[in-house]
Amino acid sequence: MTMTFDNSKQHLLIDKVTIAYGSQAIVHDVSLAVGMGEIGCLLGPSGCGKSTLL
């Protein structure tokens, strides 16, 4: 899936982020945009990388 963001209208923009601990990727190619007046939520089990992503 390809996403296009208008950077001027975003309060939070995460674009194509990959995070790894050693050779273990915990977050791979994640994109997220939260615009003005929107509420976003990250859900997932303990240890899956939610806090690391932010």
* Three-state secondary structure string covering 1-54: CCCCCCHHHEEEEEEEEEEEECCEEEEEEEEEEEECCCCCCCCCCCCCCHHHHC
- What torsion do the CA atoms of 7, 12, 14, 15 make, to the nearest 10 degrees? -10
Rounded CA-CA distance 1/50 in Å is: 21
Q: What is the pTM of this model?
A: 0.57
Within a domain: 1: no
> How many domains would you assign to the chain?
1
Within a domain: 45: yes
Within a domain: 15: yes
Structural domain that includes position 39: 7-53
The yes-or-no verdict on residue 1 having pLDDT over 60 is: no
Average of per-residue pLDDT across 1-30: 80
Q: What is the pLDDT of residue 41?
A: 87
Within a domain: 2: no
The yes-or-no verdict on residue 53 having pLDDT over 90 is: no
Taking residue 48's Cβ as centre, other Cβ atoms within 10 Å add up to 13
